[in-house]
Amino acid sequence: MLIFKNALVVDGSGQSAFAGDVALDGERIVAVGVVPVQPDDTVVDLQGKVIAPGFIDSHTHDDGYLLAHRDMTPKVSQGITSVVTGNCGISLAPLVHPNVPQPLDLLGPPELFRFERFGDWLQALKAQPAAVNVIALVGHTTLRVGVMADHQREATHAERAQMRALLTEALDEGAFGISTGTFYPPARHASTQELLDVCQPLKGRGAVYATHLRDEADDIVPAMQEALTVGREADCRVVFSHHKLAGERNHGRSAETLAMIQQASATQPVCVDCHPYPATSTMLRLDRVRLASRTMITWSTACPEAKGRDFSDLQRQWGLDDEETLARLSPAGAIYFLMDQGDVDRIFQFPLTMVGSDGLPFDPHPHPRQWGTFTRVLRRMVRECGLLSLEEAIHRMTGLACEQYGLDRRGRLEPGWFADLVVFDPQRVSDRATFEQPMQVSQGVEQVWVNGRQVWNGHQATGALPGQVLRRREPKLQ
pLDDT digits (tens, 9 = 90+) for 316-329: 999 999 999 999 99
Using alpha carbons, list the distances in angstroms from residue 193 to 164, 216, 220, 233, 268.
13, 20, 19, 11, 20
Of 476, 469, 431, whose CA–CA distance to 128 is shortest? 469
Residues 326, 221: one domain?
Answer: no
89 and 142 in contact (C-beta within 8 Å)? yes
Q: Is the pLDDT reported for residue 348 higher than 80?
A: yes
Residues 120, 91: one domain?
Answer: yes
pLDDT score, position 476: 66
Residues 264, 157: one domain?
Answer: yes
User: Do the domain assignments include residue 25?
Assistant: no
The CATH number of residue 291's host domain is 3.30.1490.130
| Residue 117 burial (C-beta neighbours within 10 Å; 0-12, 13-18, 19+) | middle
Of 336, 354, 372, the last residue of a domain is: 336
Count of domains forming the chain: 2
User: Do the domain assignments include residue 142?
Assistant: yes
Residues 204, 329: one domain?
Answer: no
Task: Calculate mean pLDDT across residues 406-420.
Answer: 97
Mean pLDDT, rounded, of the chain: 97
The answer to whether the predicted template modeling score (pTM) of the entire model surpasses 0.95 is: yes
Kindly list the strands in the beta sheet with 55-57, ordered across the sheet, starting from the edge strand earlier in the chain. Answer: 55-57, 80-85, 133-136
Q: Is the pLDDT reported for residue 141 higher than 70?
A: yes
Dihedral sign for Cα atoms in the order 195, 198, 202, 204: positive
Residues 94, 126: one domain?
Answer: yes
pLDDT band at 475 (very low <50, low <70, confident <90, very high): confident
Q: Determine the straight-line distance between the first and last CA of the chain, rounded to whole angstroms.
A: 40
User: Do the domain assignments include residue 144?
Assistant: yes
Residues 134, 262: one domain?
Answer: yes
Residues 182, 288: one domain?
Answer: no
| Residue 356 burial (C-beta neighbours within 10 Å; 0-12, 13-18, 19+) | buried
Of 318, 336, 354, the last residue of a domain is: 336
Residues 357, 223: one domain?
Answer: yes
Residues 266, 288: one domain?
Answer: no
pLDDT score, position 473: 83
User: Do the domain assignments include residue 203?
Assistant: yes
Of 408, 427, 448, the last residue of a domain is: 408
The CATH number of residue 264's host domain is 3.20.20.140
Residues 288, 165: one domain?
Answer: no
Task: Calculate mean pLDDT across residues 346-357.
Answer: 98
Dihedral of CA atoms 357, 408, 240, 230 in degrees, nearest 10, equals 150
Report H helices in 358-416.
369-376, 390-397, 399-405
Domain that holds residue 323: 284-336
Q: Is the pLDDT reported for residue 448 higher than 70?
A: yes
Residues 328, 217: one domain?
Answer: no
Residues 186, 115: one domain?
Answer: yes
Phi-psi region of 9 (alpha: psi -120 to 50; beta: other; left: phi over 0): beta
Close Cβ partners of 64 (under 8 Å, ≥ 6 residues apart): 92, 107, 108, 109, 112, 362
What is the distance between the alpha carbons of residues 425 and 33, in angstroms, rounded to a whole number?
Answer: 20
What is the distance between the alpha carbons of residues 103 and 90, in angstroms, rounded to a whole number?
Answer: 8
